[in-house]
Amino acid sequence: MKSPAAAQLIVRTVQTLRNTARGALVWGYEQRLAREVRAHQRLPRHLGLILDGNRRFARASGLQRELGHSIGADKAHEVLQWCLELGIPAATIWVLSTDNRSRDPQELAHILSLLEKEARALATDPRIHANRVRVRAIGQHDEFPPQVLAALNDLEAKTAHYDGMRLNIAVGYGGREEIVDAVKRHLHAQAQAGRTLADAAATLAPDDISAHLYAADIPDPDFIIRTSGEIRLSGFMLWQSVYSEYYFCDVYWPGFRRVDFLRALRDFQGRDRRFGR
Give 120-157 pLDDT, tens digit per residue: 999 999 999 999 999 999 999 999 999 999 999 999 99
**CATH number, domain containing residue 77:** 3.40.1180.10
Question: Residue 55 annotated as binding?
Answer: yes
Task: Examine the domain organization and report whether 25 and 162 are in the same domain.
Answer: no
Residue-wise pLDDT for 250-274, tens only, equals 999 999 999 999 999 999 999 988 8
- Domains of the chain: total: 2
Task: Examine the domain organization and report whether 30 and 60 are in the same domain.
Answer: no
The pTM of this model reads 0.88
Mean per-residue pLDDT over the chain, rounded: 91
Task: Examine the domain organization and report whether 36 and 121 are in the same domain.
Answer: no
State yes or no: pLDDT of 2 exceeds 60: no
Give the neighbor-by-neighbor strand order of the sheet with 245-248.
Answer: 134-138, 166-173, 90-97, 46-50, 223-226, 245-248
> Torsions phi, psi of 93, nearest 5?
-110, 130
Report which of residues 221 and 14 the model is more confident about: 221
Please report, as a single letter, which amino acid is at residue 7: A
Question: Residue 233 annotated as binding?
Answer: yes
Task: Examine the domain organization and report whether 25 and 78 are in the same domain.
Answer: no
State yes or no: pLDDT of 230 exceeds 80: yes
What is d(CA 210, CA 253) in angstroms, rounded to the nearest whole number? 30
**Residue 120 placed within a domain:** yes
**Residue 61 placed within a domain:** yes
- What residues pair up with 226 in beta bridges, in sequence order? 50, 248
Task: Examine the domain organization and report whether 71 and 30 are in the same domain.
Answer: no
Task: Examine the domain organization and report whether 21 and 123 are in the same domain.
Answer: no
Which helix (H) or strand (E) covers residue 223, if one does? strand 223-226
Catalytic residue among 19, 52, 163, 260: 52
| DSSP type of residue 219 | P
Task: Examine the domain organization and report whether 137 and 243 are in the same domain.
Answer: yes
Catalytic residue among 74, 100, 222, 272: 100
Q: Does residue 119 sit in helix, strand or coil? A: helix
Give the pLDDT band (50/70/90) at residue 101.
confident
222 is catalytic: no
pLDDT at position 17: 44
Continuous H helices in 160-254? 175-192, 197-203, 206-210
In sequence order, the 6+-apart residues with CB closer than 8 A to the CB of 257 are 251
Give the pLDDT band (50/70/90) at residue 14.
very low
260 is catalytic: no
